[in-house]
Amino acid sequence: MSIQATKLRVLIGKHVVLSGENLVANMGEMTALVGPSGSGKTTLLNCLGLLLKPTDGQIYLDGQEAAAWPDRRRLKFWQKKAAFIYQDYGLISDESVAYNTTLKAGSLFRNRPYTDDRLTEILEVVGLSGRAKDAASVLSGGEKQRVGIARALYKEASYIFADEPTASLDAENREIITGLLRKAAGRGACVLIATHDERLASEADHVHTLAS
């Protein structure tokens, strides 16, 4: 399984954001999208994640042309197969680590018992053992980003789209996040990352460079 983009072109107004991008990203591998600011890294990532429809070109998911999928089919892809990791973490601050990881109603109430062996396992993998009941608001930036990755691992997402996942982190947390993304790829996910972080990009299996 893979994602393949062919001759992707994106116009915003009269501005050409992407012009003829071609890319293949495989399962079990990490692909870094790199380039200067304004080169279209996030735009390309959003197209590949079906968040943005390209002006022209094709996107194939597991051999199926997906760029023109209707909303219902794209929603099913996001629910069943995709996970998104954001620079600003994308967490609900007032809710628990458990809820932000599982998105299950049973984990909403921090003062009630909640047992989920898979959650316990995943939080241990990302270094957040014992933090399930903590509110996301009390976490550090690195810990918040680890919750985003925990959510992707818990969901067993086939495709992980990460936009500048290490941009606001210190060196220690950048190393942790890089290792966790590599671990996700090692578990079989197709991991795509838009990044300025040269260290993170150096750990990718493939690097796709966008021109300015």
Under a CB-based contact definition with an 8 Å cutoff, are residues 22 and 140 in contact? no
Domain membership flag for residue 18: yes
Phi, psi of 96 (to 5 degrees): -75, 165
Domain span at 11: 1-75+190-212
Structural domain total, the chain: 1
Residue 70: both structure tokens together: 């209707």
CATH value at residue 207: 3.40.50.300
* Dist CA 83 CA 103 (whole Å): 12
Within a 10 A sphere around the Cβ of 13, how many other Cβ atoms?
A: 6
Domain membership flag for residue 99: no
Handedness of CA 125, 130, 133, 137 (dihedral sign): negative
Domain membership flag for residue 1: yes
Domain membership flag for residue 175: no
Under a CB-based contact definition with an 8 Å cutoff, are residues 68 and 53 in contact? yes
Tens-place pLDDT, residues 120-143: 999 998 899 999 999 999 999 889
Domain membership flag for residue 91: no
Domain membership flag for residue 181: no
Question: DSSP readout, the chain?
Answer: -EEEEEEEEEEETTEEEEEEEEEEEETT-EEEEE-STTSSHHHHHHHHTTSS--SEEEEEETTEE-TT--HHHHHHHHHHTEEEE-TT----TTSBHHHHHH--GGGS-TTS----HHHHHHHHHTT-TT-TTSBGGGS-HHHHHHHHHHHHHHHT-SEEEEESTTTT--HHHHHHHHHHHHHHHHTT-EEEEE---HHHHHTSSEEEEPP-
Q: What is the pLDDT tens value at each position of the chain, 212 positions in all?
A: 689 999 999 998 889 999 999 999 999 999 999 999 889 999 999 999 999 999 999 999 988 999 999 999 999 999 999 999 988 888 999 999 999 999 876 555 555 555 688 899 999 988 999 999 999 999 998 899 999 889 988 988 999 999 998 887 888 888 988 998 999 999 999 999 999 999 999 999 999 999 87
Domain membership flag for residue 66: yes
